[in-house]
Amino acid sequence: MQRQTTKQKESGAVASKQRTPTNHAAHSTKNRWKYKGGFDRARLPNVSNYYETQGLALKGKGAWRDAACPFHTDTKPSLRVRLETGAFKCMVCGAHGGDVLAFHQQRYGLSFKQAAQQLGAWRVA
């Protein structure tokens, strides 16, 4: 798009290359939700079961539990895991994430879609 000069702005002249309005009907929210494939958070595994299958022994009581961090050599439990959401944070190496999907991505070096597929949270239409 060309820039308008001050004289063109004052006179109300329009730049020669103007964008045309696009048809947003194809991208409307109504049509977007008809697609049944993709990520489904409800299909993620149970937080405590998932971390146990990954070999982490969750210790402690309350919402946040302690475990040995798998992202570095750990002798004392430095990984904190929130059982409600699956969020995790290592107090030594700084590894963190918001749910079991983020943990799976970081641990195995996967993309979002690959991790969701492995965890069974990716629906195919």
Dump pLDDT digits (tens) for 18-29: 565 555 555 555
| Measured distance CA(113)–CA(119) in Å, rounded | 10
Q: How confident is the model at residue 86 (pLDDT cuts 50, 70, 90)?
A: very high
Q: Exposed/middle/buried for 59, CB within 10 Å: 0-12, 13-18, 19+?
A: exposed
pLDDT at 2 over 80: no
Residues 60/63/66/69 CA torsion (nearest 10 deg): 160
- Return the pLDDT at 20: 57
Domain 42-123 is in which class?
alpha beta
Round the average pLDDT of the chain to a whole number and report it. 84
Residue type, 85: T
Q: Would you state the pLDDT for residue 34?
A: 64
Q: What is the mean pLDDT of residues 53-60?
A: 95
Per-residue confidence band for 125, with pLDDT thresholds at 50, 70 and 90: confident
Q: 34 or 41, which is more confident? A: 41
Question: Stretch 32-59: mean pLDDT, rounded?
Answer: 88
pLDDT value at position 14? 57
Confidence of residue 113 (pLDDT cuts 50, 70, 90): very high
